[in-house]
Amino acid sequence: MRDELSPLADAVETDGLGSLIARFDGASERPRIMLAAHMDELGLLVRRVTAEGFVQFQPLGGWLDQALINQRWVVLTSHGAVPGVTGIKTVHVMTAEARGKLFKREEMFIDVGATSRTDAEQRLGIRPGDPVAPDSRFVPLAGGQLYLAKAWDDRAGLAVIVLAMRELRAGGPPPNTVFAVATVQEEVGLRGAETSAYRVQPDIGINLESGVASDYPGISEEEAQERLGKGPAISLHDSSMLPNLQLRDFVIETAREIGVPLQFNVLSGYGQDGSAMQRSHAGAPAINITVPTRYLHSHHGVIHRDDLLHAAQLLTALVRRLDAATVERIRHFD
């Protein structure tokens, strides 16, 4: 993200937790518009190495235990990346009862090809606390519009910000100052957004995230409402935030004016960085704009290219319209 944003930004810094903050000077120092998407992805952490050289791990983020089984990983050590695979007892030696149960993460381990703890630690450089990332490749699916890859949560949001910043830079200064923030530690508690929002002190916060798609077997429209290829969505409710209603209406009207299809999603769970922006300092109106995503919190997710491009188009238009008078109207509660 530093490589993508530095050529476009007027200043780039990191806060004390590691979030990247890129400032784009517009026609006025205020209002301050904070755009956020998180850089971290679901992963694991090395807990310990067994005497036989197998890695026991601590999950980072909200994994389903069964989604961890027999997946490829990369242990990120001081010596470099070490590939591995999560293992469990093979089905050939399980009882009939065991085959039907759900395996818990405590029963799993990572096989990195080490012959002993000493081999893993000295030859491969694996230490307790080393991060472990999913190993998955990018593949366009049939037709070329659907993209299969890991970590759309939240690489989709990061891509939207980069595309919007390119358009904003090419089209002249906006009527505000924009802070494009790539946050850290969202998956373990929205921590990076909290520190970076404290640093930026936004007047308006717009979070860009992957959204919960509902257009595949096993999930109902009562649980989620986004569909791939039908445009970006705005979150009307999740477990972390309610959006500012005047900001919601502003987003809806802007999408209508520029011809971008817009969806809505109401979730009982789910959390996102917009809530940290909303609660920073004296508070700021905030909203969460999403790119619909299938199979979140797994090694492989699917998005639609047009949803990502439409989200970037919408974000660009929003920033260009957020002048002082508009922001004052959104922030007015009397």
Domains identified in the chain and CATH numbers: 2-41+151-331 (3.40.630.10), 43-134 (2.40.30.40)
pTM of the complete model: 0.95
Please tell me which residue in 4, 186, 194, 209 is annotated as part of the active site. Answer: 186
What is the per-residue burial (b if ≥16 Cβ within 10 Å, else e) of 197-216?
bebbebbbbbbbbbbbbbbe
Tell me the chain's radius of gyration from C-alpha atoms.
21
What span, in angstroms and rounded, lies between the C-alpha atoms of 175 and 308? 24
pLDDT at 190: 94
pLDDT attached to residue 102: 84
For 320: left if phi > 0, alpha if psi spans -120 to 50, otherwise beta; the answer is alpha
Note down pLDDT in tens along the chain; length 334 residues. Answer: 999 999 999 999 999 999 999 999 999 999 999 999 999 999 999 999 999 999 999 999 999 999 999 999 999 999 999 999 999 888 888 888 888 888 899 999 999 999 999 999 999 999 999 999 999 999 999 889 999 999 999 999 999 999 999 999 999 899 999 999 999 999 999 999 999 999 999 999 999 999 999 999 999 988 999 999 999 999 999 989 999 999 999 999 999 999 999 999 999 888 899 999 999 989 999 999 999 999 999 999 999 999 999 999 999 999 999 999 999 999 998 7
Q: Beta partners for 303?
A: 147
The question of whether 186 is a catalytic residue gets the answer yes
Q: What is the pLDDT of residue 258?
A: 99
